[in-house]
Structure 1
């Protein structure tokens, strides 16, 4: 337990200290409100809560295969299963590196209404903020994505420099991977059964077999 806590704090501290070095970019506002409300670590869910199918995706925002899934497969899943009321989709973030953690923090800047939209933009423009030479370049690119989603500089400062949020997200990630151990991303838990990455046709076969 001590080792887990130490690793969690080390990752969170390293992630936030890197962002703190960039704090002069816009100025820090709103942190007191964020701390008073408590960290938002929930796994957001899209779709009908009472849908017969429950799909949980474990994904890293820096994972190219995850980005491919969100561009090539997810739109069809959303149209034919989620929006049709057949499935609810839960997104659980996996943090392999500090950039992935920063992306998760950014996605929460706009609350539940903007979460999936920001996740989609981060996946779509993944190369813009992951294939960079420094943390500063990564955050600059992330801020452009956040602005595209309608976030203000103050909102992004508030959540990106929230050390309590960073540590809580890492703890939630570890909790999720203890519930369903994963060997890679993306991985999918469908009605309680773990599945590795697959294409749309494989999803159709799996999902229709459960309906």
Structure 2
């Protein structure tokens, strides 16, 4: 489990700061309890109802699994590569599990990636998420500068059919970025998330695990 940011037991505030080109990033400060640029605004009081929950599977499935993950987390990529596709085929697509994906933001790059994945209102979210994890080394480690990472994400957005102006608008949407950060903090605090990937299975928290271990837990809950 990736523990670059320890959240549970007093969540570290995340400040959103504008930089050149309309991109945004975080400053982590455990003593800070408010969030810029909305100075004086309590994160818990920010209205996050505009954020769409990303869900796969039958809404009435007998088991609900929430994955907290970051697009920049190598352990999340490993989960995506070795566990998620089997989980989708054997449990989500068969109506046994309702799957909910929730973003965790360790850094500015994860936020940028989420803005791209949600750029069309979430209609292509899981397809873009697949590309973000599959190509993580290319768009993240493969760039030498922050501008390079941003450009890589912009190109990825265009590959999936987003228009250039649409990508520009999504990457520069300060209100959406601020709301996503608040949404992440509210969810992570409520579920006591301390690292990624974290799996919440019918209200019970679990860390990263193999497909075999996960399927055993799911089978026990399914009876």
> What is residue 115 of structure 2 aligned with on the other side?
105
> What is residue 178 of structure 1 aligned with on the other side?
189
Distance in 2, Cα, partners of 1:21 & 1:100: 12
Alignment partner of 1:195 is 2:206: yes
Q: Deviations over 1:138-183 (max 9, x none)?
A: 0111122111211111111111100101110000010011111122
Q: How does 1:1-211 map to 2 (within 5 A)?
A: 7-8=13-14, 10=15, 12-13=16-17, 16-20=18-22, 40-131=50-141, 132-211=143-222
2:23–2:112 Cα contact (<8 Å) kept:
no
The two structures have a TM-score, normalised by structure 2, of 0.79
Unpaired runs of at least 5, structure 1? 23-37
- Aligned-pair RMSD on alpha carbons? 2.1
Unpaired runs of at least 5, structure 2? 1-9, 25-47
The two structures have a TM-score, normalised by structure 1, of 0.84
Which is helix-richer, 1 or 2? 1
